[in-house]
Amino acid sequence: MWPRGFFSEEDLKLPDLGAFVDMCVYIHQSVERKSRDYLEEMRRHNYVTPTSYLELLASFKILLKEKRVEIGSLRQKLQNGLDKLGTTAKDVAELEIKLIDMKPKLLVKITEVEALMAKIAVDKEDAEKTRVQVEQQSKEAEATAAECRTIKESADADLAEALPALDRALEALNLLKKTDIDEVKGFKKPTPGVVLTIECVAIMLGLKPVKKPDPNNLGKKLDDYWEAAQASPVMFKDAKVFVAGLTGYDRENIKEALIKIVETYTVKPEFQPDVIKNASTACYAMCMFCHAMVKFFYVSRSIEPKRQALKAAQDQLAITQGELAEANKKLADVSARVAALEEGHRKAVAETAFLKEEVDRC
């Protein structure tokens, strides 16, 4: 009964403790018998003591616990598998419902992707046509702009012939003081050069002469611009207004008839700036102004065709640039639309792939 007492110290939950005890006694005794046989045959001792018996019992307890843990683990795994199988039917039923719901959605998405692809292809073709149109109009605009620059440079080169003389005349006029004008105004007996200068300037300013009897031709009248200039508000009456009228003269709109009259003065040897300079500083500036206006008129007239060509080119450039701006806007709109469609296509493809993956998983 000794082993029975040993195992009763803890509950091993064995179904038949008696049979186990008999087995342990049998094992111990059989080892004792074999040990005696071993001594007789091999002349060597193998000691079997109560301690060996206790070690047998202890080893059994350890092995019993290990096997119970191992079997318990396997039993738990088996139970988990059975539980999982129990829930699988429910999961499969839910997945079948989900699959039935997703398949039509997948077909719709595939149709949407195909429609988007067709739309993108059409819009890309439209965008390409617009891009080609924009490039063509851009080249036309650049060519027209280059033509404008060429015409303007040519016209400016021609004007450069007249502008220095005009600039010198305007510079001289700007340097005039009220005292210079008053000096000319105060001449009691002006020299012929001064008279010619005042006459030419008065004609340029559109001044009407005072009619006086011609002492050398009875019944004839002489045009007296000197007296008219003395009383005119645009000449000697106000030196500031006078100089401003010359410096701000509308040279772009001079009439040819007026230039023809002024030219009868500018061709005279006695009406040259270097000659007039000796008579009066103020008249020198006025004489330079008259000569510069004649020169400017003829140069301006010679470049008039270039001006008209420039205007026509600039008008065409404005039209081309307007069309180019519209084409660029259209291209931007089409490109934005294509980008939006491609983004929608990307999302639709991603959703389709997700739905397909879900369907496959189901």
Q: Is residue 208 part of a domain?
A: yes
Q: Is residue 333 part of a domain?
A: no
Q: Do 283 and 155 have their domain in common?
A: yes
Q: What is the mean pLDDT of residues 81-105?
A: 74
**Neighbouring residues of 276: CB distance < 8 A, sequence distance ≥ 6:** 193, 194, 196, 197, 283, 284, 286, 287
Last residue of some domain: 102, 127, 148? Answer: 102
Assign residue 280 the CATH number of its domain: 1.20.920.60
pLDDT digits (tens, 9 = 90+) for 198-247: 999 999 999 999 888 877 777 788 888 998 888 888 888 888 888 888 88
Of 7-16, 131-140, 203-212, 326-335, which one has max mean pLDDT?
Answer: 203-212
3 state SS of 347: helix
DSSP-derived letter for residue 358 is H
Q: Do 166 and 277 have their domain in common?
A: yes
Q: What does the block give as tokens for 102?
A: 């997703």
How many domains is the chain partitioned into structurally? 2
pLDDT at position 1: 42
- The domain in which residue 258 lies consists of 139-320
Residue 269 · residue 181 · CB < 8 Å: no
Overall residue count recorded for the chain in this entry: 362
pLDDT digits (tens, 9 = 90+) for 94-127: 767 776 776 686 677 677 767 767 777 776 777 7
Q: Of 255, 258, 272, 298, which is closest to residue 197 (Cα–Cα)?
A: 272
Task: Say yes or no to pLDDT of 9 above 60.
Answer: no
Other Cβ atoms closer than 10 A to 309: 18
Residue 207 · residue 235 · CB < 8 Å: yes
Say how far apart CA 162 and CA 46 lie, in whole Å.
141
Q: Is residue 121 part of a domain?
A: no
pLDDT digits (tens, 9 = 90+) for 17-42: 677 677 777 887 888 888 888 888 88
Task: Say yes or no to pLDDT of 61 above 80.
Answer: no
Q: Return the percentage of the chain with pLDDT > 70, whole number.
A: 80
Q: Do 21 and 74 have their domain in common?
A: yes
Position 257 confidence tier, pLDDT thresholds 50, 70, 90: very high
Q: Is residue 123 part of a domain?
A: no
